[in-house]
Copies of this chain bind each other. A is one copy, B any other.
Amino acid sequence: MSDLRTMARLVESGMRVALPVDYAGVSMAMTRPLIERGAGNLDLVCVPTGGLQVDMLIGAGLVRSVETSAMSLGEAGGAPRFNQAIKDGTILIRDATCPAIHAGLLAAQKGSPFVPMRGLIGTDVLKNRADWKVIDNPFEETADPIVLIPAIKPDVAIFHVPLADRHGNVWIGRRRELAAMAYASAMTLVTAERIVDESLLTDEITAAGTLPALYVTQVAEARHGARPYGLWGEYPADTQELLRYAREARTAEGFSAYMQTSAEAA
């Protein structure tokens, strides 16, 4: 088992980092250790959308680019540091669409250079993605354009789960995008509410929802590690806290003050 700071040290400048959607198990517990660690020029991949954690990393100046299908704080509205960075042009945005991000991770999972995807033709999403390609479907005799999404191979995936075991197996339940992230990534760092002794693979019932240790680089315990986001089957999101952040982080100063006070509170 590891601790949060030890794990954060594995993240280096210029890495491509995959982070999950709000409700899937965001490792908010890793956000401050990552900011303390200070590895910058990160290329974030939101699987498939981003929120508070991404906004904080942007606010802390660690982010070079964001590939995402959306960025928001849900009920608390727009992501303030992201929106400001877009206006200022200080980060590169790679707008995607949810299934395209899943497709890129799937290609990496399969060891394939790309996978095809329907839709997208005629969108400005496609028009702004020079890294995607359109070919003519070779299985059709008449013209049939189809988009190819290249493999997304993150250097590291970071997420939070309810349960892990001492062997490094982690229980992801039906949030299988977490497995997809781990398959695609060179390293996977996991925080967990609880760490148990007995292997999650021993029992077929828990094994069905388990990501094997083979894909997990390090695990650290972190109670309420997703807060203020919720964790499925564990606790709900703290909407008031999200609203407070949304309000305070409207300015760079407000963001700094928020990070300061909530660091002291922690």
B-contacting 9-mer, from A88-96, A188-196, A204-212, A239-247: A204-212
CB of A118 closer than 8 Å to a CB of B? yes
A110 CB within 8 Å of chain B: yes
Which of A37-45, A53-61, A131-139, A219-227 binds B?
A131-139
Interface hits, A72-128 → B, CB 8 Å: 103, 110-118
Chain A, range 225-263, C-beta contacts under 8 Å to B: 232-233
By a CB distance below 8 angstroms, the chain B residues around A103 are 110
Chain B proximity of A20: nearest CB distance (Å): 16
What B residues does A148 contact at CB under 8 A?
138-139
Query: In the complex, what's the smallest C-beta–C-beta distance from A212 to chain B, in angstroms?
Result: 10
Question: Known contacts A173-B204, A174-B204, A204-B174: does B116 contact A137 (CB below 8 Å)?
Answer: no
Q: How far is the CA of A148 from the CA of B137 in the complex (A)?
A: 10
In this complex, the interface size class of chain A, counting residues with CB under 8 Å from chain B, is 20 to 34
Q: Is A140 an interface residue (CB 8 A)?
A: yes
CA of A264 to CA of B219, assembled, Å: 57
Quick one: closest B residue to A163, CB to CB? B205
CA distance A175 to B146 in the complex (A): 31
Q: Is the CB of B114 within 8 A of A139?
A: yes
Q: Is A50 an interface residue (CB 8 A)?
A: no
Closest to A151 in B: B139
Which B residue's beta carbon lies closest to that of A201? B174
Q: Given contacts A112-B116, A118-B112, A146-B113, is CB(A208)–CB(B174) below 8 Å?
A: yes
- The answer to the question of A25 belonging to the interface, with a C-beta cut-off of 8 Å to chain B, is no
Closest B residue to A103 by CB, please name it.
B110
Instruction: Answer whether residue A150 sits at the interface, using C-beta atoms and an 8 A cutoff.
Output: yes
A135 CA to B205 CA, complexed, in Å: 42
CB-CB nearest 7 A-B residue pairs: A208-B209, A173-B208, A204-B233, A112-B116, A174-B208, A133-B138, A208-B208
Interface set of A (CB-CB < 8 Å, partner B)? 103, 110-118, 133, 135, 137-140, 144, 146, 148, 150, 172-174, 204-209, 232-233
Q: List 28 A-B contacts (CB under 8 A).
A: A103-B110, A110-B115, A110-B117, A111-B118, A112-B115, A112-B116, A112-B117, A112-B146, A113-B116, A113-B139, A114-B116, A114-B137, A114-B139, A116-B116, A133-B138, A135-B135, A135-B138, A138-B148, A139-B148, A139-B150, A173-B205, A174-B204, A174-B208, A204-B209, A204-B233, A205-B205, A205-B209, A208-B209
